[in-house]
Amino acid sequence: MSAQAPAAQDALPASPAAQAAAEGDAATDGEPPARSAAASAAAPAMSRPQAQAGAGPAARPASASVVETVNLVFPEDANPKGTIFGGRVLQWVDMVGAMAAQRHCRQIVVTAVMDAVVFRAPIYVGEYAVAKAWVNRAWRSSMEVQVRVEAEAPLTGERRLSTEAFLTFVAVDAQDRPTAVPPLLPETPEEQERYAAAERRRAARMAFRPG
């Protein structure tokens, strides 16, 4: 999807950026093959984004990409059992994910890959759907974004995890061509673990992409 123009979502997936990233972000980014998980773990977590920064935009902290949205679930969002449609949740996942990616790179972004989506618990009519997204890692033009959706009871504030997802977005220019994004700077142990895990997921995608 396009974070700047959601209405253009249907036109963008056919772009060169989205097609290349769907086959593996290395094809989009023009980067060398990803290092093994062991090699990634052996290198200092903070040195990688700093090393990349010299060739392009300055690194930005992971915390700067965080986005949270809250939506009240109405009857039209739900099935006859009173639980939210999975498609509605995916719409919010895509939207908040694109916002996090765009907050990191400050450019137009398109959805390239929805790597994994897990529906863990329903959200009922009258509850809040709280969607939170952040960037785990950025490569040359692509970014992995993690999204969590929680159900919140309006009267008690109690929350439960409903949905988790990982998505890849690609930054594009006015001609819909991939364009460079700032490296991500993980600052906390949790952010560093997410940073390393994102590279492992990327390597797995590349290993199984069509020949």
- Per residue in 51-77, pLDDT (tens digit) is 444 456 799 999 999 999 999 999 999
Angle at Cα 17 formed by Cα 60 and Cα 40, nearest 5°?
A: 50
Structural contact between residues 142 and 21, judged by C-beta atoms closer than 8 angstroms = yes
- Structural element, H or E, at residue 204: helix 189-207
The pTM for the full model equals 0.76
Q: What is the dihedral of CA 49, 51, 52, 57, to 10 degrees?
A: 80
pLDDT for position 56: 67
Domain range list for the chain:
6-207
pLDDT by 10s per residue, the chain, length 211: 444 434 333 334 445 555 545 444 544 443 433 333 333 333 333 444 544 444 567 999 999 999 999 999 999 999 999 999 999 999 999 999 999 999 999 999 999 999 889 999 999 999 999 999 999 999 999 999 999 999 999 999 999 999 999 999 999 999 999 999 999 999 999 999 999 999 999 998 888 777 6
Gap between the Cα atoms of 138 and 184, Å rounded: 6
Right CATH for 6-207 from 3.10.129.10, 3.90.550.10, 3.30.420.40, 3.40.50.10800: 3.10.129.10
pLDDT for position 15: 53
Sign of CA dihedral 11, 182, 65, 30: positive
Gap between the Cα atoms of 180 and 83, Å rounded: 40
Structural contact between residues 151 and 128, judged by C-beta atoms closer than 8 angstroms = yes
Residue with tokens 């997921």: 201
Sign of CA dihedral 66, 71, 77, 80: positive
